[in-house]
Chains A and B, each alone.
Chain A
Amino acid sequence: MTPETSFQAYALRRLKPGHLALVLGAVVVVLLPLLFPSRYAANLLILGASWGIATLGLVIVLGYTGQISLAQAAFYGIGAYAIALGTTMVGLNWWLALVLGLFAATLAGAGLGSTTLKIGGHYLAMVTICFQIIYTLITTNWVAVTGGPDGISNIKRPPFLVPLTSAQRYAWFALGALLLVAGLVWWLRDTALGRAMRAIRENELAAEALGVDTRRVKVTAFTLSAVIGALGGAIYASGYLYISPDSFNFDHAVSFLAMALVGGSASPLGSILGAGLLAYLPEWLRDLKRIYLVIYGCAIILVIVFMPEGLWGYVKLMGRRFARPAAIPPTHRAMQVGSRGTAGEEVLRVENLFKHFGGLKAVDGVDFTIIRGEIHALIGPNGSGKTTCINLLSGLYVPTSGRIHFLGRDIVGLRPSRIACDGMARSFQNLRLFRELTVWENALVGAQRAGGSEAEVEKRAAAALEFVGLRNKAHETCLNLPYGHQKLLELARALAGRPEILLLDEPGAGLNQTEKQELIQLLKRLNEMGLTILIVDHDMSLVSQVAMRATVLNFGKKIAEGTADQVLQHPAVVEAYLGDREVALGV
């Protein structure tokens, strides 16, 4: 792939296969109700469309953000009941009722999403289940408002350009809505928000450390999925003109989850495929009517074991060679690093830092300072508290006591994403790449935190990749990269956000001699550009070639500091690493 030099050529290449799919989709939407005009068939199309919309909501929360939600049927129901109650009991305009329903769903979704802040994993699954079940209990039993198990009938159709009196016409409406939502969900994927969501799914900790406010994004994901789910329910209600609580219970929530998974939860088209399958499976398996759900349950298991990305993932695998990857913008300027301060000032000051984990004193009263423009090493034997220090600095741990000043501000207690957006970037000892995302997408997530328009974000990401030499591998998935390149990618990701300081946790681990030398060159170049670097590593040759000053820790305490050479000759340091001769003689 040759580097792009012309901006026009670049713009043209932005036309993706997705655009083509949308056009095709529009054609399908027009054709289907024409091909199947009977009332029965049209009703099936309406059902498939409503389910498809609900499942698209799950694509956002589960497929993109990786949060399990077993409450989708409740949100679907909120939309349906809003339309039903609104148009029958209160006599509202359909569209007004829709807006109210979507508003209610927003509140409910945000509420549910905010529970993720304290818990995750199977606890979260449980909360969503509770929400779903309580919803069903209320709709079944609060007869005065919801009509109870008898449900609500005589629901009205929406007023539209043409009267939607026939099932066929409403099917067009429903399918059109499906297409619209699918387009939106597909578009979301490659926006900054979409990338942030996918980063959370891949590695929430790393996303937070790279400036993604995981809290806000997760709540947003739930809210969006709730609103879309409610839209699906609204379409369903006016399609069938009658609803009862039975259609919005836990079984349906599980079904929606199943549809998303079997079809492919990370893909809009996949989930529509899954929804369609479940809507039509009873038709196709008419003779096997009694066991089609058994087959579906079995299918879930088989898909999870053998095809975790669902049916669509399989299709994608086949179609990989036809995919034209997005264009990387040309790099006009070289990569920039943060330059907010003046040379010689303190970038980072650590005072009296303590971190105790129960009885374990990981960091036991540490002070040090890092000056702008220097490369500072933090060294010490295994278990001395170095990684704990980096985690404290980047906000992943909260200190037991002590102060950390970054660019003059006390950052203790701030969220890691906040600290990252303020200019602190880091890498991890055990690589934390966004594994299913491409190299390019990893860089983009890193670049997002410095703000700006999408074009600026892309330019920064491109420049960072070029700096580490990975530009020509931009469209590979991280998993396919050799280890040395993966480490470079983590570096690029950190650099893409114009950091004021770079924290590197064992950047040399696992690299061979050649790769280490290349790393040393990169670090020296970064330093020449004015970037302040804190490096934690065990490899003393690396450290002595790169670092200007060093602080040595042992058992959580500082035992020496000074220039790199001074420190490596220091008797206490030698002892810490090699062992105490006196003690040894006593054995």
Chain B
Amino acid sequence: MFEIRDIQVSYGSVTALRGVSLEVQRGEIVCLLGANGAGKSTTLRTVSGLLHPLQGEVLLDGRPIHRLSPEAIVKRGISHVPEGRRIFPGLTVRENMVLGTSNRSGVTREDREADMAKIFKIFPDLDRMKRALGWTLSGGQQQMLAIARGLMARPQILLMDEPSLGLAPILVQEVFRVIKEINAAGGTTILLVEQNATMALHVSHRGYVMETGRIVLQGPAKDLLQNPQVRDAYLGGGKGLS
């Protein structure tokens, strides 16, 4: 349903992605792994339209989207939950979530309330805190809010950039539990970028491993979990892989 073909992306004079290809089928959770600087976030930002590839294509249901603006792409149903949570600090939990519907046209009040009620079932903590201002939330709560807000867009695909970053292990568990649930219960397709390979592979169906702008490994998550080359890609990799 969603495919990236051989994209090349640069920041000024730095080539960040040197020919990356991957695909995501409807209903899957696919994870994109790799050490810092491997190009994972760059890949997501290219999908959501913040960056444009010099070469290659990004296709949604066969139609190219890589030249569109971020606003247009989110209207097509690709919702990006970026790195660092980025919730609006001066707005309440409710308001943040309401703004999550900005990509949909003709949304009535009832639609919004219904969606919020559904999502609050997955995030009961947020329901409790719906009138709290964004900046008062803890890191873990902000991450939940960012995901909830992403879901309000009724996305076909949810792009998640390092949701576990900076969170304590207990909260990391929470986040991944939620990821599993929204996929299982709601059927939301997810492309997940993570540094925490073990966690990500445990919840995903398939995975890709990146290194210096290229995909170096791919396969079903179960296989990658056992594969020692994944470990090499993170610690002391590069000697044999590229």
Contacts and interface: CB of A to CB of B under 8 A. Distances in A.
A587 B197 contact: no
Considering residues B172, B180, B236, B237, which has the most beta carbons from chain A within 10 angstroms of its beta carbon?
A: B236
Interface stretch (A348-356, A402-410, A525-533, A574-582): A574-582
B35 A579 contact: no
Interface stretch (B44-52, B112-120, B198-206): B198-206
Contacts of B230: 578
A253 B236 CA distance: 60
A585 interface: yes
B165 interface: yes
Contacts, number: 86
B121 interface: no
B12, B235, B242: residue with the most chain A Cβ atoms closer than 10 Å: B235
A513 interface: yes
B239 A578 contact: no
A562 interface: no
A201 B242 CA distance: 41
B231 A574 contact: yes
Nearest to A585: B202
Nearest to B201: A584
A432 to B, nearest CB: 14
Given A382-B165, A483-B14, A540-B234, A509 B37 contact: yes
A573 B199 contact: no
B105 interface: no
Contacts of A381: 36, 195
A586 interface: yes
Interface string A536-564: 00111100100000000001000000000
A195 B15 CA distance: 32
Given A541-B237, A568-B236, A580-B169, A513 B242 contact: yes
B15 to A, nearest CB: 8
A545 B234 CA distance: 15
Interface string A372-412: 00000000011100000000000000000000000000000
Given A538-B37, A577-B234, A587 B212 contact: no
Contact of A587 (B168, B180, B231, B239): B180
A578 B198 contact: yes
A555 B164 CA distance: 13
B199 A583 contact: yes
B177 A578 contact: no
Contacts of A584: 176, 198-199, 201-202
A512 interface: yes
Interface string B5-29: 0000000111110000000000000
B89 interface: no
Tier of interface size on chain B: 35 or more
Nearest to B180: A587
A587 B175 CA distance: 9
* Residue of B177, B195, B197, B237 with most chain A CB atoms under a 10 A cut-off: B195
A509 B236 CA distance: 15
A587 B173 contact: yes
B90 interface: no
A319 B36 CA distance: 44
A344 interface: no
A325 interface: no
A121 interface: no
B183 interface: no
A544 B235 CA distance: 9
Interface in A445-503: 481-483, 486
Contacts of A587: 173, 176-177, 180, 199, 202-203
A510 interface: yes
Contacts of B165: 382-383
Interface of A: 381-383, 481-483, 486, 506, 509-510, 512-513, 538-541, 544, 555, 568, 573-574, 577-581, 583-587
Given A383-B166, A482-B13, A513-B212, 7 more contacts: A382-B165, A539-B37, A540-B237, A555-B168, A587-B176, A587-B199, A587-B202
Interface of B: 12-16, 35-37, 162, 165-166, 168-169, 172-173, 176-177, 180, 195-203, 212, 230-231, 234-239, 242
Which 4 A-B pairs give the minimum distances between C-beta atoms? A579-B198, A579-B196, A541-B238, A538-B36
6 contacts: A509-B37, A540-B35, A540-B235, A577-B35, A583-B169, A584-B176
